[in-house]
Amino acid sequence: MWTGARFMEQSMTYGRTEQERREAAGTSTMQDGAAYEMTSGEVANAREFVRDFLARAQTLYGESMSQRAVDVAQLVVSELATNVCKYAPGPCLLDLETDGTALGITMWDSGSVLPSASPADPTRVGRHGLELVLMVCQSFEIRREPVGKRVRVRLSLQDSPSGDPAGQTTW
Residue boundaries of the structural domains of the chain: 28-156
Is CATH 3.30.565.10 the right assignment for the domain spanning 28-156? yes
Give the list of residues 6+ apart from residue 34 with CB closer than 8 angstroms, or none. 1, 2, 3, 4, 45, 46, 49, 93, 94
Residue 116's pLDDT band (cuts 50, 70, 90): confident
Average pLDDT over residues 1-7: 43
Average pLDDT over residues 123-128: 73
pLDDT digits (tens, 9 = 90+) for 61-90: 888 899 999 999 999 999 999 989 888 888
Question: Worst-scoring range by mean pLDDT, 16-20, 80-84, 128-132?
Answer: 16-20
Residue 155's pLDDT band (cuts 50, 70, 90): very high
Predicted confidence at residue 51, as pLDDT, reads 97
pTM over 0.75: yes
> Does the pLDDT value for residue 7 go beyond 50?
no
**When comparing pLDDT for 125 and 98, which is higher?**
98
Predicted confidence at residue 89, as pLDDT, reads 81
Mean pLDDT of the chain: 81
